[in-house]
């Protein structure tokens, strides 16, 4: 899931939301060349747009985002987070993620993985979730009530005794250690046990794919 940072002078553009009653209203500081998940011309998928205002530490996130010729944006839902605050969204409100959480803080980024240490929980998805949420999530997105299904916001940790064998790449071991210490937080419905990251040409798919040896 890509994101972009902008200066405080970035012009804000109008944006409207399908779920307006659970969204933070526009305008949002979306630059003309903002990266869109899946690509600007890709019509399907979540099409997340994530913009971080560096001057105010304000995070703007929206999903299913499209731009019309008049530079007016539309999206399914949108959320604005003050990253100087621990405040959560109102109870029952969604965000650009079904759990009502911010996306950016949970993404794996190449620079931190390459540094050898990740200092936060990781965002992940599951194909089936319960019609419930637990702190810090604020929203549910399911009709399933069985206790075999995890609520939104559930945190999973890799057991501390999981062996860090030589078959794992250095980058995979960094992620494994973060999953032992901080775990991963259920943020949305999606692929099974799917960890989310931000794109970089420096990622080595073969090295990261050694993580597939770890099973849920």
Contact status, residue 1 vs residue 107, Cβ threshold 8 Å: yes
Taking only the tens of pLDDT, the chain with its 216 residues reads: 999 999 999 999 999 999 999 999 999 999 999 999 998 778 778 999 999 999 999 999 999 999 987 778 999 999 999 999 999 999 999 999 999 999 999 999 999 999 999 999 999 999 999 999 999 999 999 999 999 999 999 999 999 999 999 999 999 999 999 999 999 999 999 999 999 999 999 999 999 999 999 988
Residues 108, 215, 155, 95: what is their CA dihedral angle, to the nearest 10 degrees?
Answer: 50
The alpha carbon of residue 70 and the mean position of all alpha carbons in its chain are separated, in whole angstroms, by: 28
Residues 88 and 79: their CA atoms lie apart, in Å, by: 11
Global confidence as pTM: 0.95
Angle at 74 between CA 73 and CA 79, to 5 degrees: 95
């Amino acid at each position: 899931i890509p994101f972009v940072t902008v200066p405080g002078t970035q012009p804000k553009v109008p944006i409207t939301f399908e779920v307006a009653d659970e969204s933070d209203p526009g305008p949002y500081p979306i630059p003309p060349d903002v990266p869109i998940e899946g690509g600007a011309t890709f019509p399907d998928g979540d099409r997340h747009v994530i913009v971080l205002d560096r001057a105010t530490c304000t995070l703007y996130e929206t999903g299913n985002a499209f731009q019309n010729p008049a530079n007016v944006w539309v999206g399914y839902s949108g959320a604005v987070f003050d990253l100087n605050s621990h405040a959560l969204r109102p109870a029952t409100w969604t965000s650009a993620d079904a759990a009502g959480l911010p996306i950016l803080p949970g993404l794996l980024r190449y620079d931190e993985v390459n540094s050898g240490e990740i200092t936060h929980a990781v965002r992940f998805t599951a194909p089936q979730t319960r019609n419930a949420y637990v702190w810090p999530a604020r929203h549910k997105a399911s009709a399933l009530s069985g206790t075999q299904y995890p609520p939104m916001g559930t945190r999973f940790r890799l057991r501390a005794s999981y062996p860090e064998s030589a078959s794992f790449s250095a980058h995979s071991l960094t992620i494994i250690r973060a999953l032992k210490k901080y775990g991963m937080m259920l943020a949305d419905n999606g692929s099974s046990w799917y960890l989310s990251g931000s794109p970089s040409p420096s990622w080595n798919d073969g090295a990261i794919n050694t993580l597939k040896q770890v099973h849920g």
